[in-house]
Amino acid sequence: MLLAPVFGLPFPLTAIQILWINLVTDGLPAMALGLEPAAPDTMQRPPRPPRESILSGGLWQRALVIGLLMAVVTIPLEGLARSAGRPWATMVFTTIVFLQLGNALAMRSERRSALRLSLRSNPTLVGAVLMGATGQLVIIYVPAFHDILGTQALDGIELGVVVVLSTTTFIAVELDKWRLRAMSARMPGGACRP
């Protein structure tokens, strides 16, 4: 979002919206991800070297790509919604929250598809994501929050656009995991470190 002014667009988020995003997407979901059960093949994998960074194995690249993808989704959304007279700031704000929540769901496993993981295996994460999404909808549709968080109610089309765009991080992470599994299947012994 720091790139928006480079494209002649105003910075779309207020300080309180950034705090809200951190609370809703980084607080509870991040803690809940720590409760995700270990992958069944965890003990079959070789240990990581002791001096290896926690961001190795493609993790920093994945984080960079997801961040850039979020920018590629939200910056054009801001420009198009703004030129169409839509409540662009609320649309961008909500898209960022939903993108992050989708990313939390997708990142439950480094390799296995989130679509194959039972939601019952980590009800805390499901609850955190539902609470975050519900909280976001409350601040959009309950007028008492409009002045506090600088939001406006979205109509059905606007919310639909937000929801569709918000699936992009989930889909991107799932495609990357599919790529990792395909690479692993081609390697001797099927061992591919993420």
Residue 87 dihedral angles phi and psi, to the nearest 5°: -75, 70
Rounded-to-integer distance, Cα 9 and Cα 82, Å: 9
Q: Are 132 and 22 contacting, i.e. CB atoms less than 8 angstroms apart?
A: no
Rounded-to-integer distance, Cα 152 and Cα 141, Å: 7
> Mean pLDDT, to the nearest integer, of 20-43?
80
> Is the per-residue pLDDT at 193 higher than 70?
no
How many CB atoms sit inside 10 A of residue 55's CB? 11
The residues spanned by each domain of the chain are 18-35+57-184
> Is the per-residue pLDDT at 171 higher than 90?
yes
> Is the per-residue pLDDT at 12 higher than 60?
yes
Listing DSSP states for 72-135 in one string gives HHHHHHHHHHHHTTS-HHHHHHHHHHHHHHHHHHHTT-SSS-GGGS-GGG-HHHHHHHHHHHHH
DSSP 47: P
**pLDDT of 3:** 64
> Mean pLDDT, to the nearest integer, of 49-60?
73
Q: Are 158 and 91 contacting, i.e. CB atoms less than 8 angstroms apart?
A: yes
Helix (H) or strand (E) segment spanning residue 49:
none
> Is the per-residue pLDDT at 194 higher than 70?
no
Residues in the chain: 194
Is the torsion defined by CA of 162, 165, 167, 168 positive or negative?
A: negative
